[in-house]
Amino acid sequence: MQAVVLPAELDHYIRKGVDKAKRLQARRKRWQRYGTSLAACLLVVGLFFSIRLSPVVAAYVSHIPGMEKLVELIREDKGLQRAAEHSMVQNIGESVQQGAIRFSVDEVLMDERRMLIFYTLSQDRSDQVLSLHKVELLDTAGNPWGLGGASWSHNLEPGQTTKNRIDFTFEERGEVPDFLQLRATISIDGEEQDTPVNVVFAIDKAKFAVHQPFSYEVNQEVHVDSQRFTVESITAYPTQTEVRIRFDPTNTKHIFEFDQLELADEKGATYAFWGNGLPYSREGDDVVIYHLESIYFTKFEQLMLQAKGIRALDKDKLTVTIDARTGEFTKIPDERLRLDALRQRDDVVGMDLSLMVDEIDHSRYVSLLSELTDDLGNEYDLLQSTSSSDYSSKNIQLYGHLFKRLTSYGMPSEYSFTLYSYPTRLTEGFRIKIK
């Protein structure tokens, strides 16, 4: 996770954002932006845990050259390990050379809801940071395929070779073609390269076609602090388990997320989201589908769904407003949130925020916002988000956001944004029986 404090020098900070903005497209697809920033924040969660590889996976890797890195990239996810045990990994080995950069698609692990692409990115120099800036999944005609979300981690270390993975989560897609094309824009030392690289690779549909999903119809209503939601169903795919929850639109509070939402069996084994890929997707305003580790290849007699806490905030406190002239908040949910700096120059707006958190949230960074509006109706594009800790106090988290104004309706007098998350909770979590 990139955890840096936004620079104090106004000109340098703003001009860097302007230069970067000029290289961006006029408007990015929301899911691409969301997926990228989410990956940067969440992918490291799995690093805090150590999970031993199953003997079957270890044996599977031992006789296949080059597979050791793939298993290292899925070692925190029991569901993906078991998918590998059941021979769902497709060996690809397709690559392309562009100048000094070589990009390879090594393996693919997929089903009808998710695709993991394991790749290698290399160059001759060892003093530069080589990483992915943008990825797209296309058919061979160059049309976008598999609409949904994409996420990947950002390499922060210089070196000749980077091996990692890209997660695609499908919300809409047609028939899986025999060949797909991965288009990737490369970044060298943080600078986006002008020409993307394209790798065409074959898909072995037989690897996943035999593994059809199964579901449990639950339809249990949960009540906590007069707030209601219904766990409608649990659907298991080889790469993930989907928990479909419908929130009551008459709730007085907006429920952001659950603390440690997980499935638990009778032996105490748990299946949670381990920080890779996208944690959830939405259907309209009231339905959220949470993505947990797969239980597809797991045998159990009992199954529970549980969460230790529920983050929520009064609906009338979700909107935050800022006076553009004074650089001060005019509406906030409570005194936990502070505006440390508002930076405005030309069509770029930057803001530094600090958030007071309880001990439970010391290592849990939130996505405070990703969209900005103003009183003149201007549109904005999020260029950069950063998060870090205030080293003088573990209870304070620092957030920075940099926006590019896309329209020219004039200089606003007020900015506003809607909170995506906040560290306030209901009094308790929940636990219900699934099987």
pLDDT of residue 14: 45
- Tell whether 203 and 219 lie within a shared domain: no
pLDDT beyond 80 at 47: no
User: How far apart, in Å, are the Cα atoms of 141 and each of 1, 108, 116, 181?
Assistant: 35, 21, 22, 9
Token representation of residue 250: 């008459």
Query: For position 241, which CATH number holds?
Result: 2.60.40.1640
First-residue to last-residue Cα distance in the chain? 37
Q: Which two tokens stand for residue 420?
A: 């995506």
Label residues 360-398 b or e (16+ Cβ within 10 Å = b): ebeeebbbbbbebbbeeebbbbbbbbbbbbeeeeeebbb
Q: What does the mean pLDDT of the chain come to?
A: 85
- Confidence label for 54 from pLDDT (cuts 50, 70 and 90): low
pLDDT computed for residue 66 by the predictor: 57
Do 328 and 367 lie in one domain? The reply is: yes
324 shares a domain with 354: yes
Residue 168 sits in a domain whose CATH number is 2.60.40.1630
Residue 245, strand partner residues: 231, 288
pLDDT, residue 29, reads 36
Residue 303 sits in the same domain as residue 323: no
Range of lowest pLDDT (274-283, 293-302, 368-377):
274-283
User: Does one domain contain both 27 and 124?
Assistant: no
Angle at 279 between CA 86 and CA 41, to 5 degrees: 115
Cα–chain center distance at 14: 26
> Who has greater pLDDT, 59 or 179?
179
Residue 172 falls inside a structural domain = yes
Let me know if residue 78 belongs to a domain.
no
5 pLDDT more than 70? no
Query: Taking the complete model, does pTM exceed 0.85, yes or no?
Result: no
pLDDT (0 to 100) of residue 86: 94
The token pair that represents 148 in the structure block: 């949904």
In a domain, 331, yes or no: yes
Q: In this structure, is residue 175 part of a structural domain?
A: yes
> Domain count of the chain?
3
Do 222 and 304 fall within a single domain? yes
Asked if residue 74 is part of any domain, the answer here is: no
Q: Do residue 371 and residue 328 come from a single domain?
A: yes
Give the pLDDT confidence of 88-130 residue by residue, as tens digits.
999 999 999 998 999 999 999 999 999 999 999 999 999 999 9
Note whether 94 and 117 are same-domain residues: yes
**331-357 burial: b if 16+ Cβ within 10 Å, else e:** ebbeebbebeebbbeebbbbbbbbbbb
Q: Which domain holds residue 258?
A: 214-308+427-433
In whole angstroms, what is the distance from residue 1 CA to residue 344 CA? 26
Check whether residue 220 and residue 303 sit in a common domain.
yes
Q: Among 161, 186, 209, which residue terminates a domain?
A: 209
More confident of the two residues 147 and 305: 305
User: What average pLDDT does this structure show over 144-171?
Assistant: 88
Do 273 and 332 reside in the same domain of the chain? no
pLDDT value of residue 170: 87
